[in-house]
Amino acid sequence: MKRFLSTILAVVFCFSLGVGAFAAGTAEDGQYVSSAGWVFITIDPGHGGADTGAIATYNGRQYAERDLVMKIALYLKEELETYRNVSVAMTRTSNAASACTQVGTIEPRVDFAKDHGADLLVSLHLNAHNSTAVHGAWALTSNGNYNQGVAAVGTAVGDNILNELSKLGVTRQGHLIRNSSDSRYPNGTVADYYGIVRYGILKSVPSLIVEHCFLTNQSDFSQFLSTDEKLRQLALADAAGIVDYFGLEKKDGTELSNAIVLTDYRDHWGASYIDRAIQAGWVKGYPDRTFRPDVTLSRADFVTLLARLSGEDLTPFGGSSFPDVSADSYFAQSVAWAVNAGIISGFPDGTFRPGEAITRAQMAHIMALYLKHKGFDTTYTGDGTDSRIADIGTIGAWALDDVLFCYGAGLLNGRGANFEPDGIATRAEACTVLTRLYDYETTNVPASPQAAEVAEDASVEPAEAISPEPASEIPEPESAASVPDGDDPIIEPDAIIPDEAQTTAGNLVE
Ligand SMILES: [Zn+2]
């Protein structure tokens, strides 16, 4: 099935529109990659740790399922990664103790897959039987009683893999569907017996178990398990079944090899905006492959993102005009750029308060000034009302016109019926406004393009753009300093420090 191809093409198209023209942090150097169009496979090498799985002895040598499926898993990963836009994770890569290798618990393996955005969890096993005559391959798949769409994926992939294994000569035993004797799905139907399958259904992770053949059958062993090359052939059969289902295409030699594909926002309301912001290099992610869309961001972070969006050369800017912005902080250059561009001017007490979470009203104000810097007329000319904003009376006078301009221009939406001026903006919201600012810039004609050019060339006219209106950015200090309320999760300061801080401190990618 080729259902992912259209998405992949859409991503390519998006790039060709020039989103990548904002050079910083594009895929070549930033390594953080949007998950749009990617397929996420979690491979689960069965058993592990103290749990050996099936054991058999041939010619005086003992073979453990635990170790043979690890070899198959590594070959499978290697093969899948020769395909474009596939991200492979493994529930274990050794026999080290972990949640996934804890004997008697299966759920952590499905949780691992869920955390890695799995489109498929394939658990690799070799079978055992009291009768050494029993042989062949089974796919352990769902009874289809619940979450049918998810169940169907496991069934279809299992079918593909059984077909591929039979091409190698493994006897196709078929699908094994086993019902639980005591547990039920939320719709009251009988649940699946096998934990990988059952938890997969419950957590919407398409999953299956592949029992490639019987370790306890001498013929299966000597034909399919007795050498690394034979194990690799089993892995290639698994890969072929998966590749066919997802319609994957082989990479060519020039494609990314060490991309960090971000997986935790695929079901988020802002996913399409986040995709674009990542692809354009305005935002990055975290080394643990998360984007953290609902984490709030600081004033310094937002200005940093805006500086990237601008595409302007920041090298002429340095130092700091604020006592609380260290000239060697990761955001100092962006802040200096924004001051020079008239986008920010700080608080009446002369501070910038870089670590404070940015409110939605502050964001609107800065957005309007950003577009003004780019030469657009952002003067609000309406009558000061907007029926879409129920809490309009709570928006400070310093920001009201900017909020109304942003609403009118389609740059901002509310949260439900309200604007929530003192609400703390999230990373997802920041991505949304960045993409909308970009679209605004690229589809509207600046009222004064010349002004924008002058402002951008700060090295020529350094003083020209600096005339901050001291009163213009001033939210009431209490509200700016107040603890955020509402639904936004409040994360400890570390978490809202963006990627750059981590890049410097953690020296992540490369
Ligand atoms: Zn097993």
pLDDT at 505 over 60: no
Distance between CA 428 and CA 434 in Å, rounded? Answer: 10
State the distance from the centre of ligand 1 to the C-alpha of 47, rounded, in angstroms. Answer: 6
Query: What is the average pLDDT value for the chain, to the nearest integer?
Result: 82
Q: Please give the angle made by the CA atoms of 92, 93 and 94, to the nearest 5 degrees.
A: 100
State the distance from the centre of ligand 1 to the C-alpha of 123, rounded, in angstroms. Answer: 9
Q: What is the pLDDT of residue 464?
A: 26
Specify the domain boundaries for CATH 3.40.630.40 within the chain: 37-246
* Among candidate residues 66, 67, 39, the one with its CA nearest the CA of residue 157: 39
Backbone CA torsion sign across 237, 244, 45, 159 = negative
73-77 long-range contacts (CB < 8 A, ≥24 apart) are 73/43, 73/44, 73/45, 73/124, 73/235, 74/235, 75/231, 75/232, 75/234, 75/235, 75/236, 76/43, 76/122, 76/124, 76/235, 76/238, 76/239, 77/43
Distance between CA 42 and CA 44 in Å, rounded? Answer: 6
State the distance from the centre of ligand 1 to the C-alpha of 149, rounded, in angstroms. Answer: 26
Distance between CA 190 and CA 181 in Å, rounded? Answer: 8
State the distance from the centre of ligand 1 to the C-alpha of 209, rounded, in angstroms. Answer: 9
* Among candidate residues 92, 81, 79, 7, the one with its CA nearest the CA of residue 49: 92
Residue 139 tokens read as 């796919």
State the distance from the centre of ligand 1 to the C-alpha of 420, rounded, in angstroms. Answer: 54
Query: Torsions phi, psi of 372, nearest 5?
Result: -60, -45
Q: What is the pLDDT of residue 289?
A: 80
Q: Please give the angle made by the CA atoms of 352, 359 and 342, to the nearest 5 degrees.
A: 45
Residues 368-378 have pLDDT tens digits of 999 999 999 99
State the distance from the centre of ligand 1 to the C-alpha of 256, rounded, in angstroms. Answer: 34
State the distance from the centre of ligand 1 to the C-alpha of 191, rounded, in angstroms. Answer: 20
State the distance from the centre of ligand 1 to the C-alpha of 140, rounded, in angstroms. Answer: 11
Distance between CA 366 and CA 304 in Å, rounded? Answer: 12
Q: What is the pLDDT of residue 258?
A: 64
State the distance from the centre of ligand 1 to the C-alpha of 226, rounded, in angstroms. Answer: 17
Decide: 121 and 142 in contact? Cβ < 8 Å: no
State the distance from the centre of ligand 1 to the C-alpha of 63, rounded, in angstroms. Answer: 13
Alpha-carbon distance values, 460 to 73, 98, 317, 371, 464 (Å): 59, 59, 12, 21, 9
Decide: 282 and 309 in contact? Cβ < 8 Å: yes
* 78 Cα distance to chain centroid: 22
Q: What is the pLDDT of residue 34?
A: 84
Which residues have a Cβ under 8 Å from the Cβ of 237 and sit 6 or more positions away? 161, 164, 165, 167, 168
Determine the CATH number of domain 37-246: 3.40.630.40
State the distance from the centre of ligand 1 to the C-alpha of 221, rounded, in angstroms. Answer: 15
State the distance from the centre of ligand 1 to the C-alpha of 416, rounded, in angstroms. Answer: 50
pLDDT at 131 over 50: yes
State the distance from the centre of ligand 1 to the C-alpha of 51, rounded, in angstroms. Answer: 10
Residues 377-411 have pLDDT tens digits of 999 998 888 888 999 999 999 999 999 999 999 99
> Half-sphere exposure of 292 toward its Cβ, with a 13 Å CA cutoff?
22
For the ranges 224-233, 294-303, 316-325, 439-448, which has the lowest average pLDDT?
Answer: 439-448
State the distance from the centre of ligand 1 to the C-alpha of 181, rounded, in angstroms. Answer: 20
State the distance from the centre of ligand 1 to the C-alpha of 73, rounded, in angstroms. Answer: 13
State the distance from the centre of ligand 1 to the C-alpha of 332, rounded, in angstroms. Answer: 55
In 248-388, which ranges are E strands? Answer: 260-261
State the distance from the centre of ligand 1 to the C-alpha of 112, rounded, in angstroms. Answer: 18
For the ranges 81-85, 226-230, 231-235, which has the lowest average pLDDT?
Answer: 81-85
% of the chain exceeding 70 in pLDDT:
81
State the distance from the centre of ligand 1 to the C-alpha of 126, rounded, in angstroms. Answer: 5
pLDDT at 113 over 60: yes
State the distance from the centre of ligand 1 to the C-alpha of 95, rounded, in angstroms. Answer: 15
Q: How many helices (H) and strands (E) does the chain have?
A: 18, 12
State the distance from the centre of ligand 1 to the C-alpha of 46, rounded, in angstroms. Answer: 6
State the distance from the centre of ligand 1 to the C-alpha of 125, rounded, in angstroms. Answer: 4
* DSSP-assigned letters across all residues of 134-152: ---EEEE---SSS-HHHHH
What is the arithmetic mean of pLDDT over 104-125? Answer: 94
What is the arithmetic mean of pLDDT over 305-326? Answer: 93
State the distance from the centre of ligand 1 to the C-alpha of 152, rounded, in angstroms. Answer: 22
- β 207-214/137-140 pair status: antiparallel
SS3 337: helix
Distance between CA 245 and CA 55 in Å, rounded? Answer: 32
For the ranges 44-58, 70-84, 438-452, which has the lowest average pLDDT?
Answer: 438-452
Residues 407-466 have pLDDT tens digits of 999 999 888 899 999 999 999 999 999 999 999 999 988 877 544 443 333 332 222 222
State the distance from the centre of ligand 1 to the C-alpha of 214, rounded, in angstroms. Answer: 10
More confident residue, 325 or 475: 325
State the distance from the centre of ligand 1 to the C-alpha of 494, rounded, in angstroms. Answer: 42
* 288 Cα distance to chain centroid: 10
* Among candidate residues 431, 112, 432, 122, the one with its CA nearest the CA of residue 289: 112
State the distance from the centre of ligand 1 to the C-alpha of 43, rounded, in angstroms. Answer: 14
Residues 244-280 have pLDDT tens digits of 999 999 988 776 666 778 888 888 999 999 999 998 9
Indicate the pLDDT class of residue 25, thresholds 50, 70 and 90: very low
More confident residue, 508 or 83: 83
State the distance from the centre of ligand 1 to the C-alpha of 6, rounded, in angstroms. Answer: 37
Q: What is the pLDDT of residue 257?
A: 61
Q: Please give the angle made by the CA atoms of 450, 452 and 455, to the nearest 5 degrees.
A: 110
To the nearest 10 degrees (0 to 180), the angle between helices 271-280 and 5-16 is 50
Decide: 22 and 45 in contact? Cβ < 8 Å: no
State the distance from the centre of ligand 1 to the C-alpha of 159, rounded, in angstroms. Answer: 19
Residues 170-187 have pLDDT tens digits of 999 999 999 999 999 999
* Highest-confidence segment of 32-36, 316-320, 486-490: 316-320
Q: What is the pLDDT of residue 449?
A: 57
State the distance from the centre of ligand 1 to the C-alpha of 54, rounded, in angstroms. Answer: 6
pLDDT at 498 over 60: no
Distance between CA 133 and CA 443 in Å, rounded? Answer: 71
For the ranges 5-19, 56-70, 268-282, 351-365, which has the lowest average pLDDT?
Answer: 5-19
Q: What is the pLDDT of residue 322?
A: 95
Spell 386-398 as b/e; 16+ CB within 10 A means b. Answer: beebebbeebbeb
Decide: 22 and 281 in contact? Cβ < 8 Å: yes
